Amino acid sequence: MHHSKAPRSSLARVVRRNPGLVVSLPMPTQPTVYAYSGCSTCRNALKWMDAHGIKPKVLAIRETPPSIVELKAALAAGLPLKALFNTSGGDYKAMDMKTKLPTLSEKDALALLSQNGNLVKRPFVLQGKKVIVGFKSEEWETFFGA
């Protein structure tokens, strides 16, 4: 009687036969963009994505701020805590965050950001484990490989 093993993917077979092979796969994850419709930087970022054929999931940052998990992903991706704050925003100034932020724990700062989308630097973009905030076309070209 013939017993066959479960089929293995061809990629797994190629990697197994070529142990020194480096495989780079495209990141299929649809980017999530937290944006504010009244923000010209956000509108420019979304126009840039459209021009580059990138179809993001767009969420209203004021109504649906990034979660603590997503904000932690930004820190894990190498962004400093202060970079996550919209330092030119009205809420940042009204809440005197310039004075308060240095005294906040990371946990308290992330909780504040997750509860007040106006405090979050925008656009706030996640793709897989990568995160970018703000919009500078040169940085976005590198981030998205465009």
pTM of the model: 0.79
Q: In this predicted structure, which of 26-35, 99-108, 113-122 has the lowest mean pLDDT?
A: 26-35
pLDDT of residue 112: 97
Using CA atoms, how far apart are residues 86 and 2, in angstroms rounded to an integer?
65
Instruction: Report the mean per-residue pLDDT for the chain.
Output: 87
pLDDT of residue 27: 47
pLDDT band at 7 (very low <50, low <70, confident <90, very high): very low
Pairing of strands 57-60, 130-133: unpaired
The three-state (H, E, C) secondary structure of 117-141, written as one string: HHHECCCEEEECCEEEECCCHHHHH
Q: Residue 84: which of 60, 64, 101, 59 has the closest Cα?
A: 101
Give the HSE-up count for residue 48: Cα atoms under 13 Å, Cβ half-sphere.
19
pLDDT of residue 10: 59
pLDDT of residue 29: 80
For residue 14, give Cα distances in angstroms to 4, 5, 10, 24, 123: 19, 17, 6, 13, 40
Instruction: List pLDDT tens digits, range 61-110.
Output: 999 999 999 999 999 999 999 999 999 999 999 999 999 999 999 999 99
Domains recognised in the chain with CATH numbers: 28-144 (3.40.30.10)
Tokens of 94: 């009204």
Which segments of the chain are extended strands (E)?
A: 32-35, 57-60, 124-127, 130-133
